[in-house]
């Protein structure tokens, strides 16, 4: 969670506006901005971000709140926060580096390169520079995500800062080990059936929006080949039980996200009997 004060960040952006009339217009709407911050906090408590007021598609000169237009609100980010010569860029950079380079939307597959607006600024310009709405993101997640946002609770992707901790501490991604040549993994969204239907739908929406099934499968291919080669070589002395224990250690590694591709792969392999019982011995000459 970014520690930055939202009102102060807004003020820092406004202070960089060179035109005095435009700057005064922002300041005259201070109370509207404070209300929008409080509304976002209330929506976060209820996990109802989809219900926050939206701006009409396009219509950059349309009034969003008070006397602030859509274009004036988005300009706070594009012109007075994101550019490297702006004072508010310090906030941008601090939020960016807090992820330690790992994109939270895809479980760290991609390297963080930008900030993503959880609520897209095209539809929710009021939250263009709200720190808690800015999430470190990799290029693939940022470009692959739609500029729209779901209109129902079940269509909301996960919010890395504000969502239920169980989404990050309990398993809801699994994988099936497929006896193809070479062996492959099919990743699936499989939240516990005991979880509410809306939560399960949200996880499926997140899984599909960020194309995690395909991206996890691609990422796991090389690592899976290494595991098979190691079983034939450095791990060949292990019994089936020993090999399973080795795989289970990988599934428990705290260095990777529980629902990321890596730990999910090891978890699936450790729970697939035909895999951990195999030595993957290559045919001998003449056999």
> What is the residue-level pLDDT of the chain in tens, covering all 287 positions?
999 999 999 999 999 999 999 999 999 999 999 999 999 999 999 999 999 999 988 788 889 999 999 999 999 999 999 999 999 999 999 999 999 999 999 988 989 999 999 999 999 999 999 999 999 999 999 887 767 788 999 999 999 999 999 999 999 999 999 999 899 999 999 999 999 999 999 999 999 999 999 999 999 999 999 999 999 999 999 999 999 999 999 999 988 899 999 999 999 999 999 999 999 987 665 54
Residue 287 lies in a domain: no
Rounded to whole angstroms, the Cα distance separating 78 from 110 reads 23
Residue 259 lies in a domain: yes
- Does 248 share its domain with 133? no
| Tokens (6 digits) for 203 | 């996880």
Residue 24 lies in a domain: yes
- Does 222 share its domain with 130? no
Residue 157 lies in a domain: no
Pairing of strands 173-178, 184-189: antiparallel
86 DSSP 8-state letter: S
Number of domains in the chain: 2
| Tokens (6 digits) for 276 | 């951990």
Residue 194 lies in a domain: yes
- Does 204 share its domain with 95? no
- Does 122 share its domain with 219? no
- Does 26 share its domain with 123? yes
- Does 17 share its domain with 141? yes
> Would you state the pLDDT for residue 84?
95
> Would you state the pLDDT for residue 148?
76
Helix 6-15 crosses helix 70-78 at what angle (to 10 degrees)?
Answer: 90
pTM over 0.85: yes
> Would you state the pLDDT for residue 284?
61
- Does 18 share its domain with 139? yes
> Would you state the pLDDT for residue 57?
81
| Tokens (6 digits) for 194 | 């005991």
Secondary structure class of 253 (helix, strand, coil): coil
> Would you state the pLDDT for residue 285?
54
End residue of a domain, out of 99, 117, 146: 146
Backbone angles phi and psi of 175, in degrees to 5: -145, 150
> Would you state the pLDDT for residue 125?
95
Q: Are 185 and 247 in contact (CB under 8 A)?
A: no
- Does 17 share its domain with 142? yes
Residue 154 lies in a domain: no
End residue of a domain, out of 112, 146, 180: 146
Q: Which domain holds residue 133?
A: 6-146
- Does 70 share its domain with 104? yes
- Does 236 share its domain with 118? no
Residue 152 lies in a domain: no
- Does 40 share its domain with 136? yes
> Would you state the pLDDT for residue 58?
78
Secondary structure class of 28 (helix, strand, coil): helix
Residue 156 lies in a domain: no
- Does 100 share its domain with 72? yes
């Amino acid at each position: 969670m970014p520690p930055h004060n939202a009102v102060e960040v807004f003020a820092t952006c406004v202070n960089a506006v060179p035109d005095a009339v435009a700057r005064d217009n922002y300041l005259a709407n201070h109370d509207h901005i404070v209300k929008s911050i409080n509304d976002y906090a209330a929506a976060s408590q209820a996990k109802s971000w989809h219900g926050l007021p939206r701006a009409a598609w396009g219509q950059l000169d349309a009034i969003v709140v008070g006397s602030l237009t859509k274009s004036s609100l988005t300009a706070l980010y594009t012109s007075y926060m994101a550019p490297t010569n702006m004072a508010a860029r310090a906030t941008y950079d601090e939020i960016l580096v807090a992820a330690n380079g790992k994109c939270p939307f895809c479980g760290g597959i991609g390297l963080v390169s930008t900030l993503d607006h959880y609520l897209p600024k095209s539809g929710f310009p009021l939250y263009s520079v709200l720190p808690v709405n800015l999430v470190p993101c990799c290029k693939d997640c940022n470009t692959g995500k739609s500029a729209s946002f779901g209109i129902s609770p079940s269509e909301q992707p996960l919010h890395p800062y504000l969502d239920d901790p169980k989404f990050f501490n309990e398993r809801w991604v699994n994988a099936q080990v497929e006896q193809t040549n070479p062996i492959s993994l099919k990743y699936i969204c499989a939240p516990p059936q005991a979880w509410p239907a809306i939560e399960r739908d949200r996880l499926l929406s997140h899984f599909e929006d960020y194309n995690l099934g395909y991206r996890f499968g691609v990422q796991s291919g090389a690592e899976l080949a290494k595991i098979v080669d190691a079983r034939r070589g450095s791990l060949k002395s292990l019994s089936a039980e020993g090999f399973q224990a080795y795989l289970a250690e990988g599934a428990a590694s705290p260095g990777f996200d529980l629902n990321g591709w890596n730990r999910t792969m090891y978890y699936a392999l450790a729970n697939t009997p035909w895999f951990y019982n195999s030595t993957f011995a290559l045919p001998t000459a003449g056999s």
